[in-house]
Structure 1
Amino acid sequence: MTSTPRKAGLAILAAALAFTGALYGVTRPAAADVVADLNATQLVADMGAGWNLGNQLEASNNGVPSETAWGNPTITQALIDRVAASGFKTIRIPVAYLNHIGAAPNYTVSAAWLTRIKQVVDYAYGKGLYVLINMHGDGYKSVAGSWLICDASSQTTIQAKYQKVWQQVATQFAGYSEKLIFESMNENFDGQYGNPTQPCYSNINAYNQIFVNTVRQTGGTNASRWLLVPGWNTNIDYTAGNYGFVIPTDQYRSSTIPAAEQRLMISVHYYDPWDFSGTEDGTITQWGAAATNPAKKSTWGQEDFMDGQLKKMYDTFVTRGYPVFVGEYGSIDKTTYDSASNTYRANYARALVSTAKKYGAATAYWDNGWNGQHGFGLFDRSNNTVTQQGIINAIMAGVGTTPTSPSPSVPTSPSPSPSTNPGTGACRVTSAVNAWNTGLTNTLTVTNTGTTAINGWTLAFTLPSGQTITSGWSATYSPSSGAVSAVNASYNGAVAAGGSVSIGYQATHTGNSAAPTGFKLNGATCS
């Protein structure tokens, strides 16, 4: 996202390496020679659910990066501990350099700033998480001190500066394992929305190539670690389509990497449709098949569009061995306009994560640290608590991870065992199927129409022939086809008399996208 101070988070070769190491006081531990050994499929699976530490190390004031410049508190180990405890396995840390870069020809990055970047990386890396760092705000014309401008005339100077900065950063981290990933830049383009222009796109491609060459030549694990590169503005159409994106060559990578494997990932972001995910008004507050008010739902950008966009990335890159990373996605809080806003935000997040997983992509939710109206926040960074457990649950369900319990500071209902007082009252089930091509999503709303509470439930139903569940949320589904049983999650087993619970799943189909039949809740037939 183009990062700004707004609360919505609206986001030449160098001297010899030995000289550089001496100049910046960098040492590399013996572990520097460890070679990354995960292939593309294994990497995506191992990265799990990702989260962005947004609006912190890319925040700046008058061109000087400062982690508290945009209203967030200082980053702490406790915050990262909370994020990890919530189930996230990957943390993307956006970084700006701006006026922390010295004058030509050395373009020395402030030692204090490099040290602080390392400290924050270590908070996550030390917990065994995947960590991504990039050059985030240096290419935004709207940010004071920006310089990585693709349509500027001084490209020789820009590229020399870019090479020097990445050489220093890569040298700083050369001894870190493959769990650290570098991303060349963020949302770089000329600032004009519409089709990409030349030679600006050619300059973006040049930046990516300089990045790959520079990182590889610093040695250590950098010769083999995964590197992440974007196309024009991290836009899916302009990266996967015929608009000029060129995957960098990787001629300096370690010879120990099997010839048939890649060590480059492709970076894109996803905020479609923007009128739902980012526009700060109350017009469009609902999304997806479960939307109840057509007037509050965008006319485009629903599940079928999302599937089609991520399939483009799969067809263009994943099939060639280049994994995809959706480094930002999310939607802002609009509960001021629609009390059900967070339900649709959760549905959006779950769909994006599960669809990305289907097409060989990893993901990271954009969190700018702001909670409340128009915020993306999932955590309160001032006290390290969870603020949007429902969205976190949806993300974990989408990636296929059991959601963790909420923070103790978040009120929750008891989590009964499915076998405790199951209840024998009547029930009603409604089904909302949204189908496309060979896939579908289905949201099931289960209502307890009896007179007593249900404490733990199993919903049985029969899928139409040709349908197979590929992922689900808010319940555990088994088997994936035929007669299916959905068992409550730890957080939604209690259903009061007259109350309801929503669950759902994504499935493939062979021309039959009908709703399931034969619903029974704890053995009682549902209407």
Structure 2
Amino acid sequence: MKRIGMFGIACGAALLATTSAFALPKASALVEPMGMGYNIGNTMEVPENPTAWGNPLPTAAYIKAIKAAGFNTVRIPCAWYSHSDALAKDIEANGGTADNDAYTHVGKASDFTNPTINAAWLKQVKDVVDMIIAEGMYVVLNSHWDEGWLEDRVYDGVAASPRSGANNIANSAATTKARQAAFWTQIATYFKDYDEHLLFAGANEPGVNDPWNGTQWEFDNTRMQVLKSYYDAFITSVRSAGGNNATRTLIVQAPRTEMDMAPMLSQNFPTDPAGSGYMMAEVHYYPYQYSLLNKDEEWGTQYYYYTGLASTTDKTHNMGWNVYSNSIDNNALGTPNQIKKAFGELKTMFCDKGIPVIIGELGAIKRTGQITDAANLKLHLQGRALFYGEVAKNAKANGIVPYVWDTGAEDDGNMTIITRQKGTYSILDPDVLNALQKAYGQEGNNQSNLDSLVKENEVPETGNGKGVLVTYATKTTDSSETGTLRINLSNDSKDLSKYVGLEIRMKGSVETAGGCTSTDPKKECSEYGWTSMDLFMMTGGSWAWFDANVLQQADQELDATTFQTFQIKWEDFRTEPTGLNEANAIGLNLYGTQVTGTITIDYIKGIKADGTTEIIDDFDKKPQLEGIATGKIVPLSGSDAIKAVRVASSSKMLVNVRPGMVTASFSASKNAPAKATLMNSMGQVISQKNFTANRGMNRVELTSDYRGPAMLVVRQGSQQLVQKIMLK
């Protein structure tokens, strides 16, 4: 029997079932029509304000562009907690006020268990859902991170922070479960008459995170039972909400949504009151070294070039490069071999049992700012398309629905396919889209922009060095904006205690007032403008912030044509830095209104007590740029170039791996606190221990039920020992 939702394209937002007397199709029947999927990322999931991360609210034109690009299902990452009265309750529980800009989830949650979602927010979400369904597409509506109200709290009782056991935090699993039930009762009731085109997902990447430094804690079976209780609350609440919710397809996630942890979900899959066939499982796919890693580490390098398109001049960044054997591992995470094997295992584990799988997020960053050789950049861009196509091909072959992640950003490091921030809704990444379309039997004939991207980002090699050219351009006229150049410090550089300050070498000009930088013809420029330029750093597990006005403290003017060095001592910072042996990031912030300008930066150095300096970053690769700052790598030659030499550290330890246990023996130079960490191939913590290392030989043991490739890191102060291992 037909329902309104099955033939109601002409009915627009009225794709609703008139009765709940008939069961909706089972989940397996949705896989083929759902096809390949798209995420509207960094929008509806932004806490409190969906436009705060730079994206406009989705429009009908944007949704039509997604459909026209060949996608037939859209995932809406969505916030609920920060649009409810639970936010204010928790702020008050931490000594804040209800009008705080944002809730920092460091402290305790209140015992408030029955939150109410704002009615206007439900209507806003409904508008987006309706636009998608009106195009004949399917919608996965989830509960996303949203200040970590659930995803950072998959545990019960008190958990110790990895920061040397400090700042222990408590969580009541019963409270979190009650909130989960309350939210999904309201969501499901609101959408109860929607047909099978609307699916619900109970979480995003549920785990346990240290709220002070973002480190992920070990996820064991005890925490799996807590997560399962959250899923039980989700499922029971939806099934009890009436209408078509009785047989709506619901989706639950593997711990942290990691493929490696899919067996844990399979072994603890929740029971559905609707019976079998109305559930899906979700994992995400970001092969860490290829998809997300943005700096080389001692344990491994970034992967720039995909299998089959290896670089002959930059071998250490080829897919699967092993830093210990100096060779290629063709079964490394992200390779075609690994994708085929992993997706086949998902099929056996879930799909063959009537539980379809979605890859809720997948992608790989575009590294146009890191690769300055034209031939290698072209290999990288071609390889990204191969990667996306390989994932889509294997997903389709195994009855899995893949969803590409899209943030809307258009700068270096983006995963965006369709533009939306400028209102044009054009194809930003036609080569990736072509690969996806071809995997799903579509034409895939979008005009490639690969050659133009290579030309735009090509940096002529001079042999003398590189710098970063940063451009600042404010977008408003009546409020201060910030442009940030940020360096996330590598492990070798985290200890700044050996320095007495920082030195930055740069040239350029910045102008304020006098000229209007607004692109809005309805806004007039005011008659004033101001700017300041600050060096900053963040240190320690609490990411304490310190900054200093670089021009004011150095008592110098910025020169537009000649490089100058500016030195800032620790005592020049607004508050004297502490925790310098655990520095997380340094950088340059430009603040102001009506600001335009460009600056070229050659390096940032640390200043030693004897007056000598040492390179911290020489911008051979582009740093992270945020806010009103954009930029690219540029060559420096002649007197402009200063060749920088880095000193790499080397370390060794003896490691013994047994089933369920890893033992490391190493030598320490002093008596001091230390930390041993086991990380999986995604760079996520699977086991961790704080201990005191003594001068001389030491031994530390870690236990874990994890199986497969892992990285063991033992750190004492600035000393770090790293070894790649295989857990049994």
TM-score with structure 1 setting the length: 0.65
When residues 374 and 298 of structure 1 are mapped into structure 2, their CA distance, relative to the original with a 3 A threshold, is same
Q: CA deviation at 1:407?
A: 11
| Distance in 2 (alpha carbons) for counterparts of 1:179 and 1:279 | 35
Q: CA deviation at 1:33?
A: 2.0
| Distance in 1 (alpha carbons) for counterparts of 2:67 and 2:252 | 25
When residues 373 and 28 of structure 1 are mapped into structure 2, their CA distance, relative to the original with a 3 A threshold, is closer
Residue 248 (str. 1) matches residue 270 (str. 2): yes
When residues 29 and 378 of structure 1 are mapped into structure 2, their CA distance, relative to the original with a 3 A threshold, is closer
CA contact 1:238–1:245 (8 Å) conserved in 2: no
Equivalence for 2:135: 127
1:364 aligned counterpart, secondary structure: strand
| Distance in 1 (alpha carbons) for counterparts of 2:259 and 2:141 | 21
CA contact 1:171–1:218 (8 Å) conserved in 2: yes
Equivalence for 2:337: 304
Structure 2: gaps of 5 or more residues? 1-13, 87-111, 156-169, 210-214, 297-301, 321-331, 453-728
2:377 aligned counterpart, secondary structure: coil
The residue identity in structure 2 corresponding to 1:90 is T
Q: CA deviation at 1:146?
A: 6.5
Residue 379 (str. 1) matches residue 397 (str. 2): no
Equivalence for 2:622: none
Equivalence for 2:408: 369
| Distance in 2 (alpha carbons) for counterparts of 1:29 and 1:93 | 19
CA contact 1:79–1:384 (8 Å) conserved in 2: yes
| Distance in 2 (alpha carbons) for counterparts of 1:78 and 1:57 | 17
CA contact 2:138–2:197 (8 Å) conserved in 1: yes
Q: CA deviation at 1:275?
A: 1.4
The residue identity in structure 2 corresponding to 1:380 is T
Equivalence for 1:392: 433
Match of 1:107 among 115, 118, 121: 115
How many corresponding residue pairs?
A: 368
CA contact 1:55–1:72 (8 Å) conserved in 2: yes
1:343 aligned counterpart, secondary structure: helix
| Distance in 2 (alpha carbons) for counterparts of 1:36 and 1:243 | 26
Equivalence for 1:187: 205
The residue identity in structure 2 corresponding to 1:297 is N
Equivalence for 2:34: 47
When residues 197 and 77 of structure 1 are mapped into structure 2, their CA distance, relative to the original with a 3 A threshold, is same
Equivalence for 2:310: 291
Structural mapping, 1:20-169, within 5 Å = 31-33=18-20, 35=22, 37-60=24-47, 65-103=48-86, 104=112, 106-138=114-146, 140=148, 149-151=153-155, 152-169=170-187
The residue identity in structure 2 corresponding to 1:322 is I
When residues 350 and 29 of structure 1 are mapped into structure 2, their CA distance, relative to the original with a 3 A threshold, is closer
Equivalence for 1:11: none
> What CA deviation, in whole Å up to 9, does each residue of 1:133-180 have, x standing for no partner?
10001363xxxx667611253111111111010000111111111011
| Greater strand content | 2
> What CA deviation, in whole Å up to 9, does each residue of 1:233-259 have, x standing for no partner?
01112122x5785111112x2xxxxx6
Equivalence for 2:711: none
Q: CA deviation at 1:131?
A: 0.5
Equivalence for 1:199: 222
| Distance in 2 (alpha carbons) for counterparts of 1:404 and 1:41 | 30
Equivalence for 1:275: 289
Asked which structure has the greater RCO (Cα within 8 Å, sep 6+), the reply is 1
Structure 1: gaps of 5 or more residues? 1-26, 254-258, 412-527
When residues 306 and 120 of structure 1 are mapped into structure 2, their CA distance, relative to the original with a 3 A threshold, is same
| Distance in 1 (alpha carbons) for counterparts of 2:438 and 2:25 | 24
CA contact 2:24–2:244 (8 Å) conserved in 1: no
Match of 1:328 among 361, 382, 401: 361
| Distance in 1 (alpha carbons) for counterparts of 2:398 and 2:171 | 39
| Distance in 1 (alpha carbons) for counterparts of 2:26 and 2:123 | 31
> What CA deviation, in whole Å up to 9, does each residue of 1:319-368 have, x standing for no partner?
11100100110111112314222211111110001111111211100001
| Distance in 1 (alpha carbons) for counterparts of 2:147 and 2:153 | 5
Q: CA deviation at 1:289?
A: 2.5
Equivalence for 1:266: 281
When residues 213 and 243 of structure 1 are mapped into structure 2, their CA distance, relative to the original with a 3 A threshold, is closer
Q: CA deviation at 1:297?
A: 1.4
CA contact 1:31–1:177 (8 Å) conserved in 2: no
Match of 1:218 among 241, 248, 261: 241
Q: CA deviation at 1:124?
A: 0.5
| Distance in 2 (alpha carbons) for counterparts of 1:328 and 1:237 | 15
> What CA deviation, in whole Å up to 9, does each residue of 1:464-502 have, x standing for no partner?
xxxxxxxxxxxxxxxxxxxxxxxxxxxxxxxxxxxxxxx
Match of 1:351 among 387, 390, 394: 390
| Distance in 2 (alpha carbons) for counterparts of 1:396 and 1:34 | 38
| Distance in 1 (alpha carbons) for counterparts of 2:265 and 2:220 | 9
CA contact 1:386–1:407 (8 Å) conserved in 2: no
The residue identity in structure 1 corresponding to 2:234 is F
| Distance in 2 (alpha carbons) for counterparts of 1:153 and 1:72 | 33
The residue identity in structure 2 corresponding to 1:96 is A
Q: CA deviation at 1:369?
A: 0.8
When residues 29 and 226 of structure 1 are mapped into structure 2, their CA distance, relative to the original with a 3 A threshold, is closer
| Distance in 1 (alpha carbons) for counterparts of 2:448 and 2:230 | 42
| Distance in 2 (alpha carbons) for counterparts of 1:280 and 1:35 | 51
2:236 aligned counterpart, secondary structure: helix
1:31 aligned counterpart, secondary structure: coil
> What CA deviation, in whole Å up to 9, does each residue of 1:392-417 have, x standing for no partner?
11111122333364699x99xxxxxx
When residues 275 and 168 of structure 1 are mapped into structure 2, their CA distance, relative to the original with a 3 A threshold, is same
The residue identity in structure 2 corresponding to 1:344 is G
| Distance in 1 (alpha carbons) for counterparts of 2:387 and 2:22 | 37
2:75 aligned counterpart, secondary structure: strand
CA contact 2:150–2:176 (8 Å) conserved in 1: no
**Which deviates more from structure 2 when the two are superposed, residues 393-402 or residues 85-94?**
393-402
**Which deviates more from structure 2 when the two are superposed, residues 399-408 or residues 36-45?**
399-408
1:199 aligned counterpart, secondary structure: helix
> What CA deviation, in whole Å up to 9, does each residue of 1:430-459 have, x standing for no partner?
xxxxxxxxxxxxxxxxxxxxxxxxxxxxxx
When residues 404 and 95 of structure 1 are mapped into structure 2, their CA distance, relative to the original with a 3 A threshold, is farther
> What CA deviation, in whole Å up to 9, does each residue of 1:26-76 have, x standing for no partner?
x9965242745544543211111100000001112xxxx211111112321
When residues 286 and 77 of structure 1 are mapped into structure 2, their CA distance, relative to the original with a 3 A threshold, is same
1:136 aligned counterpart, secondary structure: coil
When residues 52 and 263 of structure 1 are mapped into structure 2, their CA distance, relative to the original with a 3 A threshold, is same
Equivalence for 1:513: none
| Distance in 1 (alpha carbons) for counterparts of 2:151 and 2:265 | 24
